[in-house]
Every structure is written in structure tokens, then in C-alpha cells.
Chain A
């Protein structure tokens, strides 16, 4: 829809209405005026005729045949006494023209073009010809009532036409002035109205750009005022909602922080008893506290293994709390990917053998510049997660390579493992803390669901990203760490 401002729309609709109205009005005035003018002319002509026809008739009777000069003089006097009278014609009783005033000015007796036979014209009646002139025919009767001759007055309508032309032009002029004045007045009258609408428009625009504190102050006492009041109260409630939402978000964040704090505290608190227990188990196992029987050694090993698991979970718990994450600063160094991988693989040796998993790897990119602890944690948690969810006899495949996305280079780790598919809607959720994929068979559940969350956090510390996708026969995890030259600089800097 094309944009046209209300001002223009109103002005054009007013303009059209008024121009039609004015046109009607002025045409009516024009008709009335010209009618009045021509009637006036006719009346004047008639009264002139009434005044003069006797004199003309007598002059004709007295002098026409006897003293033509005198006759001409007299008749000329009549002719000139009124400017509109253009001609006087005299017919005999039979209707033949005997005299016309044109004869006074030209020697020839012209064959004048008279439109009507005088017989057909009744006395005093004016037969309007639409063009130049009109006629008044006066039959002159003698005492017995017989027509002795008729006098025809021909009046020019030149003046009337002039008047009509004049008032037409004048009317057009008035019309344009009126039209302009109307537009001006419209504009003045609509000004406030349109301004108010524009105010509302501005307010709507600033609300659109996120400023909810604007208010409309319109006191026009009409729908616009109502609209602006409604808008104000709407904005008021939006403000309140936003305020409440902010408060809610703050509260949730505070709760989140409190949770993290509690997690951090719990894991701190757990460390002391863990340290004491583990320490003594190790001391006992090392034989420093006296010899142990086979049975006792086996029991201690089980205790030790479980304490290690407890420790791992505690670490993850602490690690997952935002507080701990926020305090972590990464220090980049060049890392031998193969070595880290080999170490991690060694750590999970027992689990891998127990589940009879095949773990294969292919390192196209052998070095990465990253934080060592974080990088190791990424590999550890990815592999630990894969071991957990790969069915017995399954395959785990780890690859690294460099990849370009746009104009940014990444070190990419991709880990594939055979496993049931993850529901598409859950692919993003698996990186959330405490998330457990529900595979239908619940036997694989173990840990508190922090592994992938820790991977995500560690990757994000490097400003990288991580994603999971279902692929044929399994699930694929891809970690992208941005390539950086920070390590090179350190080397060259010594």
C-alpha cells in the first residue's frame, strides 16, 4: 500500500467536494445574473418601443413620402437615442418591407435577411434569436382597427453577450480564489487534528524502537484524545509488565546464582572428606601402614575406585556452576592432540575393554592452540559420554581437522559413536546441565548429566561452538575451536 499522509488525503477530499460545490454555486449565480441582465435589457427595449412607436409611425406617415430628408433625420434621432437599438424596419399592411434604417447609411437597397415574416410576429413579443439580436414588432392600427403598417425594432444583444463573457471570466476568477481560500482554511482547521495524529504516529514509532516511557498529551476532546489516552494506559501497563518481567528475570538470575553458589560450596565441602578418605586409602594401598591381606587389598581397591568416581562427579558439579566458570581464565598453549588423546584413552582403558568398544582415531590436525586443562576436559568428557552411550561392541571414531567457515578457520574435533538416535528436538538440550537423553532403555543412565555441559562451557571459553547431529547408525558431535596465532606469538616472543 502506498503511503499518503492524512493531510494530503483530507485536503484532496475537501478540495474535490468544495470545487464541485463552488462550481455549482457559481454556475447558478451565472445563470441568474445573465437572466436578470437579459430580462432587464428586454424590459428596457419594450418600454423604449412603447415610448417611441407612435412617434416613428407618425413620422413615417407625415414625412416618408413627402419629406424623406426630414424623415431620415427624425428616425435617426430615435435610432441613436438608445445604443442597443441597431435597426428600425417598417413594413406596409401587406407585409412588404418599405423602409429600413440601413438605407440611411447605404445607397443600395439591400436584400435584407429578415428571419421572420412580420405577420408571424405578434405585437410586443420578443422573439429571441439565440444569436446576435432580438426583435420587437409593433403593428400600427388605424381607427377602424386595420393594420396600416408595422414597425420592427431590432436590438443588438452585444452588451448582453459582453456581460455574460465578463461574468464567466469573473466567476472563474472568484472560483479559483474561493478554492484556494478553502484549502487554506481547511489546512488551518485540520492542522491541529492532523498534528495530533502525527503526534500519535511519532509516539508509536518511538515505542517501536523500544522506548516505552513516551506519553501522548493530546487534549482535543475527540477520538484522537481517546486514542491517545488508551495508548498511554497501554504503555503504562507495558511498562509495568516490563518492570515485573525484569524483576522476575533478576530473581531467577539470583536463584541461579544461589544454586551455583550452593553447588560450588557443596563441592568444596566434599573435597576435604574426599581428601582424607582417598589419602588414607592410598596410604594403606601403598603398604606404608603395614601389610594387607589379598581380601583387604581387593576391598580397598573397590573403595578407591568409588572414591575416584565420587571425586569426578564432585569436580563436574563444581565445574558446572557458573561461578566457577566465570572465574576461569584460559591460558593458551600449543597442545599435542595425539598425546592428550592417548592419555585419555588410557584412562578409559577398562571401560572400553569391558564394553568391547572399538575406538579409532584419525588426526589430520595434530596440534591445537588452546588451554590445556580445558582441551583435555573436552576430550575426556566427549569420550566419557560416548563410552556411556555406545552399546556393547559399538564403534567410537574421533577425527580432527582444520575447517573454514566463512573467512574464519577452526580446529574441528568430530566424534562419532554408534548409538540410538537422539530425538531432533533434544539435540540442543543435551548440552544443558543435568540433561539425560531418554533412549527408551534407561539402563545406560549414569553420572549427573554434566559431561556435555562442561564440553560446551570449555568450548565457549575458547569462543568456539559445539553441536550434535544424528548421522547414520549413530550420533555425531562436532567441536569447533577458532584457530588462533596466540601460541605462535608467544613462541616468537621467547
Chain B
């Protein structure tokens, strides 16, 4: 089973994403960037679902960190954001983000995106 890391400061969202994906994937959850990094170190993650608006170290910082490291650079990232502004989308795609999902999203939407990206990567 592919391993997915979800990073979000909202426990309810973490749980929701986990519940949506758990039947098909191994889902690891992190409440903040610190936890996310420690999981990255322990487990070989295939995809990251990342919330942008988090207190202290936000999603962009985490994205920078991943893109800066040899080890994690290749992991695809789906961004989850409450901000639907065009500007965020632009920055997101420039930073090498695979996709973005705007809150609120439907379970099927998320599953479809994750499947697509992992399939593409498998090729």
C-alpha cells in the first residue's frame, strides 16, 4: 500500500482525510511541520497532502524544506487551501506542487486526485 502523509493543523480535517483514504492507502497524519518531518524521516512517503495555512511554520515553509532536500524533493505534494485566490494557485504550481484542492472538497474529489497523481508517478 502506498504511504500518504497528511499535514494539517485541524484535527478534524486530518481525521476526515484519513477516513477518506484509509481503505486504499496507509495514511500518516501530522498536526504540524515538526511532526511531519519526523514521520518523513521514519517512513518512505509516496505523497504529501499539505495544508497551507498553519500557525508558526506554514505550508509554504514546509514545501521549501522538502524542495530543498535531496531526499524528499521528488515526493509529489497536493496542497489543500481555504484560499481560492488565483495568486495562491500560481505560486503553488510554480513551487512544483502537483495539484491543489480548495476547501471544502468532496471525498471523491480527493480520492481521484490522489489516484491520478500516484498513477502518473508509477509510469
Q: Which residues of A contact B (CB under 8 A)?
A: 268, 271-276, 278-280, 282-283, 286, 288-289, 311, 318, 324, 327-329
Quick check: is B55 within 8 A (CB to CB) of the other chain?
no
Question: Do A289 and B19 touch (CB < 8 A)?
Answer: yes
Question: Do A286 and B107 touch (CB < 8 A)?
Answer: yes
Question: Do B84 and A274 touch (CB < 8 A)?
Answer: no
Give the dominant DSSP class at A's interface. Answer: helix
Q: Which residue of A268, A271, A279, A327 contacts B107 across the interface (Cβ within 8 Å)?
A: A279
Q: A327-B85, A327-B87, A328-B86 are in contact. Are A279 and B105 (CB under 8 A)?
A: yes
Question: Do A271 and B19 touch (CB < 8 A)?
Answer: no
Q: Give CA–CA (A286, B107) in the complex, Å.
A: 9
Question: Do B86 and A276 touch (CB < 8 A)?
Answer: no
Question: Do B107 and A272 touch (CB < 8 A)?
Answer: no
Q: A271-B82, A324-B85 are in contact. Are A276 and B13 (CB under 8 A)?
A: yes
Question: Do A268 and B83 touch (CB < 8 A)?
Answer: yes
Question: Do B23 and A272 touch (CB < 8 A)?
Answer: no
Question: Do B85 and A275 touch (CB < 8 A)?
Answer: no
Q: A268-B82, A283-B107 are in contact. Are A275 and B13 (CB under 8 A)?
A: yes
Question: Do A271 and B85 touch (CB < 8 A)?
Answer: no
Question: Do B103 and A275 touch (CB < 8 A)?
Answer: yes
B residues less than 8 Å from A275 (CB atoms): 13, 16, 103-105
Question: Do B84 and A279 touch (CB < 8 A)?
Answer: no
Instruction: Tell me the nearest residue of chain A to B16, going by C-beta.
Output: A279
Q: Give CA–CA (A283, B17) in the complex, Å.
A: 10
Quick check: is B20 within 8 A (CB to CB) of the other chain?
yes
B residues less than 8 Å from A274 (CB atoms): 103-104
Q: Which residue of B19, B103, B104 contacts A283 across the interface (Cβ within 8 Å)?
A: B19
A residues less than 8 Å from B105 (CB atoms): 275, 279
Question: Do B19 and A278 touch (CB < 8 A)?
Answer: no
Among A273, A282, A328, the one with the most B-chain Cβ atoms within 10 Å of its Cβ is A282
Question: Do A271 and B103 touch (CB < 8 A)?
Answer: yes
Question: Do A282 and B23 touch (CB < 8 A)?
Answer: no
Closest beta carbon of chain A to B32's beta carbon, Å: 15
Q: Give CA–CA (A329, B84) in the complex, Å.
A: 12
Among B19, B103, B106, the one with the most A-chain Cβ atoms within 10 Å of its Cβ is B103
Instruction: Tell me the nearest residue of chain B to A272, going by C-beta.
Output: B10
Quick check: is B12 within 8 A (CB to CB) of the other chain?
yes
Q: Give a binary string over B94-118; 1 marks a CB under 8 Å from any A CB, 0 the rest.
A: 0000000001111110000000000
Q: Which residue of A276, A283, A318 contacts B84 across the interface (Cβ within 8 Å)?
A: A318
- Apart from A276-B16, A279-B104, A327-B86, list 20 A-B contacts with CB within 8 A: A268-B53, A271-B82, A272-B12, A272-B13, A272-B103, A273-B12, A274-B103, A275-B103, A276-B10, A276-B15, A279-B16, A279-B20, A279-B106, A282-B106, A282-B107, A282-B108, A283-B16, A283-B19, A327-B87, A328-B85
Closest beta carbon of chain A to B9's beta carbon, Å: 9
Q: Which residue of A271, A273, A288 contacts B23 across the interface (Cβ within 8 Å)?
A: A288
Q: Give CA–CA (A288, B24) in the complex, Å.
A: 12
For residues 16 through 48 of chain B, which have their beta carbon under 8 Å from a beta carbon of chain A? 16-17, 19-20, 23
Closest beta carbon of chain A to B21's beta carbon, Å: 11
Q: Give CA–CA (A283, B15) in the complex, Å.
A: 12
Instruction: Tell me the nearest residue of chain A to B87, going by C-beta.
Output: A327
Closest beta carbon of chain B to A286's beta carbon, Å: 7
B residues less than 8 Å from A288 (CB atoms): 23
A residues less than 8 Å from B12 (CB atoms): 272-273, 276
Q: Give CA–CA (A288, B106) in the complex, Å.
A: 14
Question: Do A311 and B104 touch (CB < 8 A)?
Answer: yes
Q: Give CA–CA (A329, B53) in the complex, Å.
A: 22
Q: Give CA–CA (A352, B66) in the complex, Å.
A: 50
Closest beta carbon of chain A to B98's beta carbon, Å: 20
Q: Give a binary string over B1-14; 1 marks a CB under 8 Å from any A CB, 0 the rest.
A: 00000000010110
